[in-house]
Structure 1
Amino acid sequence: MEVLWFLPTSGDSRYLGTKKGGRPATYVYLKQIAQAVDQLGFHGALLPTGQSCEDAWITASSLLSVTKRMKFLVALRPGLMSPTVAARMASTFDRLSGGRLLVNVVTGSSPAEHGADGIHLSHAERYLVTDEFLSVWRNLLNGEEVNFEGEHFHIKGGKNVYPPVQSPYPPLYFGGSSAIAKEVAAKHVDVYLTWGEPPAAVKEKITHVQQLAARYGRTVRFGIRLHVIVRETADEAWDAAHALIRHVDDETVAAAQKALQQHESEGQRRMLALHSGNRNDLEISPNLWAGVGLVRAGAGTALVGDPETVVERIREYEALGIDTFILSGYPHLEEAYRVAELLFPLLFPSDDVAFAGERLADSIHPK
């Protein structure tokens, strides 16, 4: 099992839907979170992408020299850059970091953001671009000279002179719930990601992608993106969940839901369907709480409970085939420590990573 954390490059907060308790995404703050991730034993961290975020590649590069072992899950955006340029970027980052790059392929965003970035393609066309992009990118990093004639890319004599550290290339992560997204995933990626849906829905996705990948003679790993609200007792955890949205009023929820309904993403549609904007029935599956999705795009669910219960739910997803867990919590600095302290000893009882937080605490406050 790999457990990753999240770097909030658009800012952080103690509460959702309000400026109260807000924290800007300064370099000092992001460095604090990255160094906590590095020392506590997380496998790495996801950096989001979009207009409201600091650039993921520059941010990750700036944090290499202040971390030692964590990996950075950084977004590639087909349609915003050439696959040859993207291959050089990935290869350089992987070499200079000593093999600490993971690549998150992001095809979709909101229609407004696509237009602002000069992308005027349909949902299906964007995935066709991604298919061609990854065909070129993978072959380049495999050391091949690429001559490619597609509908969207025309490459003559493409080469990647300096190979990456990881072979054949840094692992490709990818999320998408539509039929065409799953087809692209089955054909190209290493880890298929889903947002935190109930186990039955996740199982259905996994089975479908496995079947598609088998047609290409491939196997795919699976990951899940979830928030976590874990406390020493269940009552404390649920109190913390309710406190997270204490400043969210009905008008704020209605405005957020209206904006999110404009997205073309099938995954976003599925997130919205979990709660339909109703804040009175947010536990959609045992300990799976959809409150985050009332006002936040993307991953909208959290596992809520005491350590033993949260680990039990994580193990349920693991039993379905999930081996990568990309977690987050508000605010991200404190919650990284809390997750390492409360969950890692149960998730990794015989692994040194389970004691990373304890060792760090001892170094700060010797017994």
Structure 2
Amino acid sequence: MSLTFHWFLPTNGDSRHVVGGGHGTPATESGHDRPPTVGYLSQIARAAEDLGFVGVLTPTGAWCEDAWLTTAMVAQHTERLKFLVAFRPGFVSPTLAAQMASTFQRHTGGRLLLNVVTGGESPEQRAYGDFLDKDARYRRTGEFLEVVRGLWAGETVDLRGEHLRVEDARLVRVPDPVPEVYFGGSSPIAVEVAARHVDVYLTWGEPPAQVAEKIARTRASAEREGRTLRFGVRLHVITRDTAEAAWAQAHRLLDGFDPRTVASVQAGLARSESEGQRRMLALHGGSRDGLEIHPNLWAGIGLVRGGAGTALVGSHDEVAERIEEYAAVGIEEFVLSGYPHLEEAYWFGEGVLPRLRARGRWRHPYGRTAAPSAGAGRP
């Protein structure tokens, strides 16, 4: 089985240092080093496309640019790369979202993937006019996906739900292909929603044993619904020709963490309602010590960044081995990133992917002889 790899579009800015933010915390000053212009993001997207990444994830929230608008612009500078657009279902009607997705598919030749983000932080949700509590937001997400799925199937949908109501909703043109739905969440109600409605369940990069437990729990829930899911993991990556060089880069990033910034970010994240964020914080406990929590799995990113806070660190061979370890517990898709995103895409694409191809674990999605996109260049 060929594993699938996605990269990340840093619509919150990029840097040779870690750009913090997310889950109620603002982007750090390092995000101004390389502003998230369409030109720079398109350069990253073209590199990802040429190297063999299937898609790129774009985040959502007050700390970054709007994912829908940004990816619609960047898509015009790529040919085959897909866009894993993160969006929050409480901020737009399900009928309009289904229509937006259908339009995106037609104008990009079917290159949309959807990452449904229910929203883990009530203060940020309220800033957007959403005053539901966390469990209610997940129930609304289930209703939202029920409507969207029906519309994409060409049905006329009527729903009088707990939170959403539509009458005689239908699309003039359905998307072709129907976008796959990605989703993450560690709480019991999140697992219920995933089991009923999504295609790919995403988890942040916990040690493989913890990931295996989460996969087993979610897979069992999906089986009770008569469904089968795929599973993916969200990780950063620092890979070099030698392990020493990779860890030197990790230590350089760590040395750049201002203690006041770490304290401020950790205080903000400690107030998070997200079960996944709580699990991320538990990996490092706010301390700079003992950050290698599993061989080649480093929790340092989570000191200054909300959400995904772990990185694979090591030689190309070591990182390839860790990827195979995650694959052994059921992970099929990897959503990766690194600082800065342009250079790190090349380190991974030219260092790790050829090793996985040699082991029969990966093949280039566009063929080995795919020509580089116009304008693509190496840093």
Q: TM-score, normalised by structure 2?
A: 0.92
Q: Which runs of 5+ in 2 are unaligned?
A: 21-27
Residue equivalent to 1:141: 152
Q: How far has the Cα of 1:344 moved from its partner?
A: 1.0
Matches within 5 A, 1:329-348: 329-348=338-357
Q: Which amino acid aligns with 1:283?
A: E
Q: How far has the Cα of 1:112 moved from its partner?
A: 2.3
Q: Which amino acid aligns with 2:357?
A: F
**Alpha-carbon distance between aligned partners in 2 of 1:305 and 1:247, rounded to the nearest angstrom:** 20
Residue equivalent to 1:184: 193
Q: Which has the higher contact order (CA 8 A, sep 6+)?
A: 2
Contact preservation (8 Å) 1:189, 1:220: yes
**Alpha-carbon distance between aligned partners in 2 of 1:180 and 1:334, rounded to the nearest angstrom:** 38
**Alpha-carbon distance between aligned partners in 1 of 2:366 and 2:299, rounded to the nearest angstrom:** 29
Q: Secondary structure at the residue paired with 1:245?
A: helix
Q: 1:28 aligns with which of 30, 33, 39?
A: 39
Q: Which amino acid aligns with 1:51?
A: A
Q: 1:149 to 1:30 in 2, by over 3 A?
A: same
| Residues 340-349 or 196-205, more deviating | 340-349
Q: 2:173 aligns with which of 143, 148, 162?
A: 162
Contact preservation (8 Å) 2:50, 2:371: no
Q: 1:62 aligns with which of 54, 65, 73?
A: 73
Q: How far has the Cα of 1:356 moved from its partner?
A: 6.3
Contact preservation (8 Å) 1:348, 1:354: no
Residue equivalent to 1:6: 8
- Match status 1:115 vs 2:129: no
Q: 1:218 aligns with which of 215, 224, 227?
A: 227
**Alpha-carbon distance between aligned partners in 2 of 1:355 and 1:143, rounded to the nearest angstrom:** 33
Q: How far has the Cα of 1:354 moved from its partner?
A: 10
Q: Which runs of 5+ in 1 are unaligned?
A: none
Q: Which amino acid aligns with 1:83?
A: P
Contact preservation (8 Å) 1:344, 1:353: no
- Match status 1:50 vs 2:61: yes
Residue equivalent to 2:25: none
**Alpha-carbon distance between aligned partners in 2 of 1:103 and 1:174, rounded to the nearest angstrom:** 8
Q: Secondary structure at the residue paired with 1:108?
A: coil
| Residues 72-81 or 270-279, more deviating | 72-81
Q: Which amino acid aligns with 2:7?
A: W
Contact preservation (8 Å) 2:55, 2:84: yes
Q: Which amino acid aligns with 1:67?
A: T
Q: Which amino acid aligns with 2:66?
A: D
- Match status 1:15 vs 2:24: no
**Alpha-carbon distance between aligned partners in 2 of 1:354 and 1:56, rounded to the nearest angstrom:** 25
Q: How far has the Cα of 1:359 moved from its partner?
A: 7.2
Contact preservation (8 Å) 1:193, 1:225: yes
1:247-282, CA deviations, whole angstroms, 9 ceiling, x for partnerless residues?
213222111100011111000000000001010110
- Match status 1:195 vs 2:204: yes
1:286-316, CA deviations, whole angstroms, 9 ceiling, x for partnerless residues?
1100000001000000000001110000001
Q: 1:91 to 1:343 in 2, by over 3 A?
A: same
Q: How far has the Cα of 1:364 moved from its partner?
A: 8.8
**Alpha-carbon distance between aligned partners in 2 of 1:364 and 1:27, rounded to the nearest angstrom:** 14
- Aligned-residue RMSD, C-alpha: 2.0
**Alpha-carbon distance between aligned partners in 2 of 1:302 and 1:161, rounded to the nearest angstrom:** 44
- Match status 1:151 vs 2:162: yes
Contact preservation (8 Å) 2:191, 2:218: yes
Contact preservation (8 Å) 2:122, 2:134: no
**Alpha-carbon distance between aligned partners in 2 of 1:204 and 1:313, rounded to the nearest angstrom:** 17
**Alpha-carbon distance between aligned partners in 1 of 2:376 and 2:104, rounded to the nearest angstrom:** 32
Contact preservation (8 Å) 2:67, 2:87: no
Contact preservation (8 Å) 1:222, 1:324: yes
Q: 1:75 aligns with which of 86, 96, 101?
A: 86
Q: 1:288 to 1:332 in 2, by over 3 A?
A: same
| % identity of equivalent residues | 56
**Alpha-carbon distance between aligned partners in 2 of 1:230 and 1:355, rounded to the nearest angstrom:** 24
Residue equivalent to 2:99: 88
Q: Which amino acid aligns with 1:181?
A: A
**Alpha-carbon distance between aligned partners in 2 of 1:182 and 1:342, rounded to the nearest angstrom:** 35
Contact preservation (8 Å) 1:172, 1:189: yes
Q: How far has the Cα of 1:15 moved from its partner?
A: 1.1
- Match status 1:280 vs 2:289: yes
Contact preservation (8 Å) 1:256, 1:294: yes
Q: 1:364 to 1:80 in 2, by over 3 A?
A: closer
Q: Secondary structure at the residue paired with 2:89?
A: coil
Q: TM-score, normalised by structure 1?
A: 0.94
Q: Which amino acid aligns with 2:355?
A: L
Q: How far has the Cα of 1:238 moved from its partner?
A: 0.4
**Alpha-carbon distance between aligned partners in 1 of 2:74 and 2:35, rounded to the nearest angstrom:** 17
**Alpha-carbon distance between aligned partners in 1 of 2:35 and 2:348, rounded to the nearest angstrom:** 22
Q: 2:182 aligns with which of 148, 173, 178?
A: 173
| Residues 295-304 or 57-66, more deviating | 57-66
| Residues 38-47 or 20-29, more deviating | 20-29
